[in-house]
Amino acid sequence: MHVRKSYLFLGSFAIWVVLALLFHGRNSLQLDSYENTPFTSFVGEQASSIRGNRTKSPIFIYFFNPIRAAISGFVEVIRSLIAVPVGNSIIPIIGWLGVLALIGFVVFATSQWRTSLLAIGLLFACGALGMWTYTMDSIAMTVAAVLLSLAIGIPIGIAAGLYDRVLKILTPFLDLAQILPTLVYMAPLALVFMIGAASATIATMIYSIPISIRITSHAIRNLNQAPIEASVSMGSTPKQTLTKVQLPMAKQMIVLGINQTVMAALSFAVIAALIGAPGLGKPVIDALIIRNVGQGFVAGFAVVFLAILMDRSTSAAARKQESFIPPTPKQIKNKRIFTGVLGLITVVCIYLSRTLLWVAVWPKSINISQQVEDVTNKVTTWITSNFSFITVGFKDLISNWVLNPLESLLTQSPWYVTVVMIVFIAALIGGTRVSILAFVLLMAIVLSGLWFEAMITLTQSIVAILLTMSVGLLLGIWIGRSDRAQRALRPFLDAGQTLPAFVYLIPMLGLFGPTRFTAIATGIVYSIPIVVKIVCEGIRAVPVALVEAATSAGSTTLQIITKVQIPAAKKTILLAANQGLIYVLAVVVIGGFVGSGGLGYFVIVGNLKPELQGKGLIAGAVILLLGVIFDRVAQAGARRAS
């Protein structure tokens, strides 16, 4: 059966290639960039109508506008504390020295002194890069979004953990949120709430809340049931059991959920600069627009430092809960004394930052941004000049022998041929129900008028996931089989997952220039860590008895890997491919900034040009449809492999 399916794949692909050659360029549904279809024109007119009715429509006056005002006010309160001057003042409420002391104190109180020193050092480095105000804006945006996300996500997560019906209702929405690329919902939110802090915060919350819900629900559902049953048998009410038993037991996992929510919020807060969010995303976007790699690296370094700061601080707080050995009275006393002294120092620093200008506004003399920019540009020029045989050679190799032929197949075939072939492949992988869903969604893409652009994005996503899986599978098997390799690579994989996707565009732009391959390379680098981790877990989950039996039978290492471990971990590997596809799609569409074209380009241009807003909104919807097709086909394939 396995052989027959392989032959069906090869046969269908061969037929597809022949038909593409026979009908090359016919019914490809290609439109000029600035040409609208009747549908995109209609959507654009509706968008213009929405913009014109913000001050007249009751739903805006009594619902959307108050939400926008409340969230914007909440964000501005936090910004006024650390980022922007208040009233007639020329400084924020807390100057830079006070912020350093306050963050150092908070991190120490929730974790340990080493993490506190690291946080202070990283924050100081952001200031030294000339990014202090941008960094404070990013912190303010992230803190505001995280507080609102946790206020909503944790209670809902608790309910989902306690009640099966709640989890069942929420699961489709949580799954949809996971596969929803970030660009998709920024434009509709900006349309309703206008560009600015409010729409950016709401978009960040949409991205962050599902993570908080999932982890909180998981924490409640996977508790040891013995203490809970004992509490119930002693007559505790459900509320008492929850507050006195379940939540304390789930505390560590909930703190981990807070860590993941913080990282998701920071990641999105950078991208949200596209819809007017203040913070580090703005200099990153400015650098990408003017193709200034050195300037982009300066802002990128600040984003990296802030990401490490937030990740280490919140993850250290989670690790602090691991010890079950209570501290001695002397340790408690010393900790309280030391915390009190640090608190006093923090108050003094805040007071000084309110009274002395040089500790309120970041000193211009402490600025190495120009040096970093110059060095980065020189290094980039040297690499591209001396290693062009690698950078240009690899780019041309993939572009000429993989990307161009596949793009020609997908974009120049008649649309109906491509639909039939994709539906047939979906049927082979996922079955009849998935193929029907794929057909419906593909026809929706055809009717959207953006079929050609969707095929460009699909091409780039397929090439990116093929390269991602090629590298991720090898690395995942390696660290899955070797503890030493896992210890060596784990820090890099963890660091890779903490960085916002936008940041990866900067080095890729320096290496490959503004091309389609830049977006593909960015997607590969961004998605590899999650693929490697999942494949590693799948390899390590293979029963030891199977491996030992193969070894005792005289199998070589290659035979054990190909005949035992990979087949046994097939379901997990398909799950890795599914997650890799979602990550790749999310980043490839952002590649519209660096010349990748496709749907991402129209989403970005739609935000900038009113006459193309309808096309941008439809492009976002089509990205979602592609994501759903990817997700459902891969998930069904994983289920059938089990």
| Residue 51 clears pLDDT 80, i.e. is over it | yes
Residue of 217, 213, 209, 309 lying closest to 265 (CA atoms): 209
CA distance 481 to 476: 8
Mean pLDDT of the chain: 88
**Residue pair 585/634 in contact by the 8 Å Cβ criterion:** no
Poorest-pLDDT segment among 191-195, 320-324, 383-387: 320-324
Delineate the domains of the chain, giving CATH numbers in brackets: 2-19+35-47+387-641 (1.10.3720.10), 55-94+109-328 (1.10.3720.10)
Output b/e per residue, 408-442; b: 16+ Cβ within 10 A.
bbbbbbbbebbbbbbbbbbbbbbeeebbebbbebb
Residue given tokens 């999942």 in the structure block: 534
User: What proportion of the chain, given as a percentage, has pLDDT over 70?
Assistant: 97
> Which region holds residue 327: left if phi is over 0, alpha if psi is between -120 and 50, else beta?
beta
| Residue 323 clears pLDDT 60, i.e. is over it | no
Instruction: Convert the pLDDT of each residue in 17-33 to its tens digit.
Output: 999 999 988 999 988 87
611, HSE (Cβ side, Cα atoms, 13 Å):
4
| pLDDT at residue 318, rounded to an integer | 61
Instruction: Convert the pLDDT of each residue in 416-462 to its tens digit.
Output: 999 999 999 999 988 899 999 999 999 999 999 999 999 999 999 99
| Residue 87 clears pLDDT 50, i.e. is over it | yes
DSSP H stretches of helix in 431-565: 432-448, 451-481, 483-498, 501-512, 516-540, 544-552, 557-560
Confidence of residue 1 (pLDDT cuts 50, 70, 90): very low
**Residue pair 453/597 in contact by the 8 Å Cβ criterion:** yes
Output b/e per residue, 181-217; b: 16+ Cβ within 10 A.
bbbbbbbbbbbbbbbbbbbbbbbbbbbbbbbbbbbbb
Q: What is the mean pLDDT of residues 191-208?
A: 88
> What CA–CA distances, in Å, run from 63 to 143, 361, 542?
24, 39, 53
Between 34 and 23, the higher pLDDT residue: 23
Q: What are phi and psi of 28, to 5 degrees?
A: -85, -10
| pLDDT at residue 549, rounded to an integer | 92
Confidence of residue 317 (pLDDT cuts 50, 70, 90): low
**Residue pair 97/352 in contact by the 8 Å Cβ criterion:** yes
Between 400 and 56, the higher pLDDT residue: 400
| pLDDT at residue 227, rounded to an integer | 85
CA distance 82 to 105: 16
CA distance 532 to 572: 11
Poorest-pLDDT segment among 112-116, 473-477, 638-642: 638-642
Confidence of residue 592 (pLDDT cuts 50, 70, 90): confident
Q: What is the mean pLDDT of residues 557-574?
A: 90
Long-range contacts of 474-478 (CB under 8 A, 24+ apart): 475/528, 475/532, 475/535, 476/531, 476/532, 476/533, 476/534, 476/535, 476/536, 476/538, 476/539, 476/576, 477/535, 477/536, 477/539, 477/561, 477/565, 477/566
**Residue pair 195/68 in contact by the 8 Å Cβ criterion:** no
The H or E element spanning position 237 is: none
Token pair of 388 as six digits:
């062009």
> What CA–CA distances, in Å, run from 160 to 208, 210, 274, 442, 552?
16, 12, 33, 33, 47
Poorest-pLDDT segment among 89-98, 320-329, 494-503: 320-329
CA distance 579 to 635: 10
Q: What is the mean pLDDT of residues 47-58?
A: 85
Token pair of 627 as six digits:
């994501």
Work out the end-to-end distance of the chain between its first and last CA atoms, rounded to an integer number of angstroms.
15
| Residue 123 clears pLDDT 80, i.e. is over it | yes
CA distance 308 to 503: 13
Confidence of residue 322 (pLDDT cuts 50, 70, 90): very low
Token pair of 463 as six digits:
């090439």
Instruction: Convert the pLDDT of each residue in 93-107 to its tens digit.
Output: 999 999 999 999 999
Q: What is the pTM of this model?
A: 0.87
Q: What is the mean pLDDT of residues 358-372?
A: 92
Q: What is the mean pLDDT of residues 365-392?
A: 90
CA distance 112 to 102: 14
